[in-house]
Amino acid sequence: MEDLLSPEKKSRILDCIIILGTLSFFVLKVIYSSGDLTPDSIQYVLQAKDFWNYKVNFPLGYPLAIKTLSYITGSFFTASKVVNILSYLGIVLFSYRKKFYFPQTLVIFSFYPFMGLYTYSLSEPLYYFFNYLIIYCVYRISRERFSPKYSIYLGILFFMLVSVRFSGIFVFAVSILFLALLTWKKNYPVRSYVYTVAAASLGVFLYLLINYMYCGYTLGNRSHLHLAPVSVFHEFIPHFVISVLHDFSLFNAIMHKGILSRISFIHIYTGLGLIIIALLIVFKKRKKLSNFNLYLLFSFCGILLSIFYSYYTTVIDDNIRIKSNAFLYLEMIIVFNIPRHVLNSLKVFVLLILGLNSFTLITHYKNTAHLLEKYDTFIKDCDQKRVHILYKNFKNKKERNDAAVLFFKMRLIDKGFQIDESESPASSDSGCRINTSEIIRMNH
């Protein structure tokens, strides 16, 4: 009995419960939601459905993964969720197999913001998987030396990373700069560094070449994303700082809207506190700061600056999804350096949040099975497998991106229907017609 309650056994039991709890939450989130979809999700699935002809501004890696798994699942929607769950399990199993901060990794990827993003049909989960493997390779190089093995691994991993999200180029740039610093600091052979940079650069270049051959653009057509200049110091920087601090708050993990609204005023202070804790850890260990911790700090600052640049130059979503990669490094600085007894307390906190969110889903959200039945009842009599969705105002993003409308479109894609969208159809249009207001009403 005494052995059963040893700290090591308790830690392992908590680890198993967290894995099961996280997977259960993933399943519940998919069942008790409107699919967890965004406009980007629809684009990914359309690209997966017509891979060689449907050319958008997204890299090919995630749609290709969806398309491959759809042959097994029979559904693009299900395939997108399976890709994400496999990405989570891939990180957990790799961490366990390599004994690479396993308990810490489990806490990070089973908590905010990752536990929420994994249920969405988005490329981030697959991106985290490849990014995590790159972090491990840099960790090994920082503890050992450059080797042909890690050079080859980094070449392959950077190819895969950029094939999932173009922002992988920023991770590439930060990693190469850090390895240059490491080479100088530890007096590694410059030739070994050059070989590693060449392999990683080749991986990035090869994917960008493939992307150019695919759609005529190395990074996609980005002309529509350019922003009009704004005041940097009076407008942009204050907004960016407040946005980062708000999104870095751990209390955003709570799904219950009533609780979340009552504590919304502390988000900025919580986010600031998290950054201060990371800086205090670095300051406390400044004389004995490991090269790996230096890499995490270097990457956090570099990725955050890249996000700053992206926000200033292009139109991208202002949410934790975009900032999550910088947040990953911030969490690693903190969680990888906290004492074991604090880590176990953090595991309990993660389990409480998972339990609260699972309870919130079951009690406050509707099962999507009845919604799918309504969709199938409507479309079963549609001729020529074609549906025309009518909008009150097609330019209204709120109407166009409503969760029910996106879920309905996903169902049509899975059933092989052609989708037409406008405010008023031509009289010659065949197939079924449905207003967005009708689709939204089905959800109530």
pLDDT value at residue 76: 95
For the chain, 444 residues long, the average pLDDT of each consecutive 10-residue run is 65 92 92 88 93 84 96 94 97 96 95 90 96 97 92 97 95 96 92 96 96 84 64 78 89 75 80 93 88 95 91 76 92 93 90 92 84 85 83 86 91 91 69 85 78
pLDDT value at residue 273: 92
Model confidence pTM above 0.85: yes
**Residue among 383, 375, 395 nearest 438 (CA):** 375
* DSSP H stretches of helix in 35-189: 39-49, 61-73, 76-98, 102-109, 114-117, 124-143, 148-164, 168-186
Task: Show the tokens assigned to 51.
Answer: 């891979």
Query: Environment class of residue 416 by beta-carbon count within 10 Å: exposed (0-12), middle (13-18) or buried (19+)?
Result: exposed
Task: Check: CB of residue 323 under 8 Å from CB of residue 252.
Answer: no
Residue 76, phi then psi, degrees to nearest 5: -65, -40
Residue 389, phi then psi, degrees to nearest 5: -95, 125
Distance CA 419, CA 87 (A): 30
Residue 230, phi then psi, degrees to nearest 5: -130, 165
Q: Report the sign of the C-alpha dihedral through residues 313, 317, 320, 325, in that order.
A: negative
Q: Widest CA span of the chain, in angstroms? A: 78
Task: Check: CB of residue 368 under 8 Å from CB of residue 31.
Answer: yes
Query: Environment class of residue 327 by beta-carbon count within 10 Å: exposed (0-12), middle (13-18) or buried (19+)?
Result: buried
pLDDT value at residue 149: 94
Q: Which residues pair with 434 in a beta bridge?
A: 389
Cβ neighbours for 68, distance < 8 A, ≥ 6 positions apart: 79
**Residue among 309, 350, 303 nearest 329 (CA):** 303
Task: Show the tokens assigned to 21.
Answer: 């709890």
Q: Report the sign of the C-alpha dihedral through residues 143, 148, 154, 156, in that order.
A: negative
